[in-house]
Structure 1
Amino acid sequence: MQRTRPTRWLGRLLVLVVAATTLVGAPAGAAAPARAATDWSPVPGAAKARSAPSAVSYAGGPRLFVRGPGGQVRVNRFSSSTETWSGWAAVPGDARATSAPTTAVYGGELHLYVRTTASSGIRTNRYSLTTGAWSGWATVPGRAGATFSPTTEVYGGALHLYVRTADGRVRTNRYSQTTGAWSGWATLPGHPGATSAPTTEVYGGALHLYVRATGGAIRANRYSLSGTWAGWNTLPGTPTVTSAPAALVHGGGLHLFVRGPAHRIHQGRII
């Protein structure tokens, strides 16, 4: 399949991330492929970033979001037609952000979420291609108790939010485009002892959720369309994990990536 220019740009970005990290998962004694990171270049303009970036593909091109000074959120947009960046600009309004932004595309709109200081809550804003405007910042109703950036996943016709709380639990809220309302914050059953933000991925008709837990283990849970959670379990055989896990569906399987000892990246096929 022919790849478009913006896809090639994203492909180069992915290669550079992989090339800059030691991946562990090849057979013993196999040499890792040597690739030179030659295409690094700064995204034009003054990002004024105070957080890691969040990237999302929307309306035909990548968009980058960062937390900026004073709790604002800043955005830059790449044009597929001109292959240029729009320049960094503040998302309008008072975000009050204390975390990196998190993004999701749901119902044809771009949804943006950040943690805020007030009651460790979550603030949200929504961009519509129809109006070409942002809806304005609002607080997701209820007390989230978030200690990290929120995690988003679209599943079962709804947009799901997940946060880690100070006592190591995971809380969730669900937004429905049909009703325009939130379900309300609820704590997942059980105590995973989470020490990282949650990571989610949809695979095999279920929503899979992972966290790093006390002692460097990975704890997993699974949500089904029936509205029930399978319960927390510890993944066997994982190295001592020092980061939040990253999940990816690829090649017919569900894969996890984690940072382990000696700053190496480990991978494992879970399903």
Structure 2
Amino acid sequence: MRPTSATRRLHRLLLVPVLVLATTALAPATAGAASPDDARTTTAPPAMAAGWTPVPGQAQARSRPGTAVYGGDLWVFARGPAGSVRTNRYTLTTDEWSGWSTVPGAAGATSAPVAAVYGGDLRLFVRGSGGTIRFAHYSLATGEWSDWSALPGSAGTASAPALSVYGGDLWVFARNAAGHLRANRYTLTTDEWSGWFRVPGAAGAVSAPATAVYGGDLWLFVRGAKGAVRTARYTLVDDQWSAWSTVPGQAGATSAPATAVYGGDLHVVVRGAGGTLRVTRYTLTTGDWSGWSEVAGGPGVSAPATATYGGVLRLFVRGGQGRVHEYPLG
């Protein structure tokens, strides 16, 4: 039997709220799409496992943490609301945190922050709108932050930056949309940037890079296809980059890597399936990798950050409700 015109009108009226409800239910999943740099998740974060402790206060973190040791303190950073950068610092001698505060000025951050100590100042970098890298620096002598500035020629950057101090220069690395890594370096004595250049070879990067200086070389790491971790290194003496290679074993990485030199070894840490953290280490004297293993504790909802402070290798992640959590690895 064919439906009457009244029945058809009723069907249309009933269909409208169904479509509205379906659209509303799908909207949060689209808005919360995962970032390869921050490894965000839209699901409710699991409880932090034993061994993890929250950094006191309301971090309001929107990204993975960044760390630096400066002026005798351990500094922790995270991207905050409205593109701000939030910071807290820990003093070992008093065993106290300063409390979270916002770095002054308009950071315009769209990525996790990274920091390095160079030329006596603490230098802070983020990716801003349009993929431009922005930076500011803090002087312990004056207790003041500089204004935020844009790094020339950095527009179109597709990841958070990474920093390293090597060969007397401050190096800045970032991934572009094609999965290649670009680099620029700043020389304090001339107050000049070298200009951007592409790191040779096929990095195949799908994450922000990470850096380490170890064994006299500058090392680069990225997450590659199928959860692998890829690496290359630069030797200042030869002015040569090695070919890109894959760190041995099943990394299972779902985030950008983090690095630390600790106990004579080079440690690489990534976020794995279910938010757990996985680690491997390279020993220079043997030329061997230890193999990937799961870190006790976890999980978090961001890529990890590392810091060596007070003789301890410390891991940091963003947890639930915008909190930052710490775990002593060694």
Indicate the TM-score class for this superposition, using the shorter chain for normalisation.
0.7 to 0.9
Determine whether 1:77 maps to 2:137: yes
Equivalent pair of 1:149/1:163 in contact (CA under 8 Å):
yes
Q: Is the 8 A contact 1:239 1:260 kept in 2?
A: no
If the length of structure 1 is used for normalisation, what is the TM-score? 0.79
Structure 2 counterparts to residues 253-268 of structure 1, below 5 A: 253-259=312-318, 266-268=325-327
1:201 to 245, 257, 260: 260
**Pairs aligned (count):** 248
Structure 1 position 255, deviation (Å): 3.1
- Tell me how far 1:52 sits from its aligned partner: 2.8
Map 1:166-245; keep pairs closer than 5 Å. 166-225=225-284, 226-235=286-295, 237-245=296-304
The answer for the alignment partner of 1:7 in structure 2 is 71
Deviation (angstroms), 1:7: 3.0
CA distance in structure 2 between the aligned counterparts of 1:219 and 1:190, rounded to whole angstroms: 11
SS in 1 for 2:289: coil
Q: 1:50 to 1:245 in 2, by over 3 A?
A: closer
Change (3 A) 1:34 1:156: closer
Q: Aligned to 1:153, which of 201, 205, 212?
A: 212
Matched with 2:101 is 40
Q: Is the 8 A contact 1:240 1:261 kept in 2?
A: no
Deviation of the 1:227 alpha carbon: 2.4
Distance 2:153 2:210 in 1: 22
> Residues 100-124 of structure 1: CA distance to partner in whole angstroms, max 9, x if unpaired?
1111111111000111112x11110
On the 8 A contact 1:63/1:76 being kept in 2, the answer is yes
User: 1:17 offset after TM fit, Å?
Assistant: 3.0
1:137 and 2:196 equivalent? yes
Contact kept? 1:79, 1:85, Cα under 8 Å: yes
Instruction: Provide the alpha-carbon RMSD of the alignment.
Output: 3.0
CA distance in 2, matches of 1:106, 1:227: 22
CA–CA distance in structure 2, aligned partners of residues 181 and 266 of structure 1: 38
Alpha-carbon offset, residue 189 of structure 1 = 1.4
CA gap 1:57/1:227 in 2 versus in 1, 3 angstroms: same
- Give the TM-score, by structure 2 length: 0.66
Percent identical among aligned pairs is: 47
Aligned residue in 2 for 1:26:
none
5+ residue gaps, structure 2: 1-69, 78-85
Query: Compared with structure 1, are the counterparts of its residues 77 and 178 closer, same or farther at alpha carbon in structure 2 (3 Å cutoff)?
Result: same
Letter in 2 for 1:17: N
The equivalent residue for 1:105 is: 165
Larger radius of gyration: 2
Is the Cα–Cα contact under 8 Å of residues 95 and 123 in structure 1 kept in the other structure?
no
In the alignment, is the contact (CA less than 8 A) between 2:274 and 2:299 conserved in 1? yes
Separation of aligned partners in 2, 1:169 and 1:51 = 22
Instruction: Output aligned runs, 1:50-129, within 5 Å.
Output: 50-118=110-178, 120-129=179-188
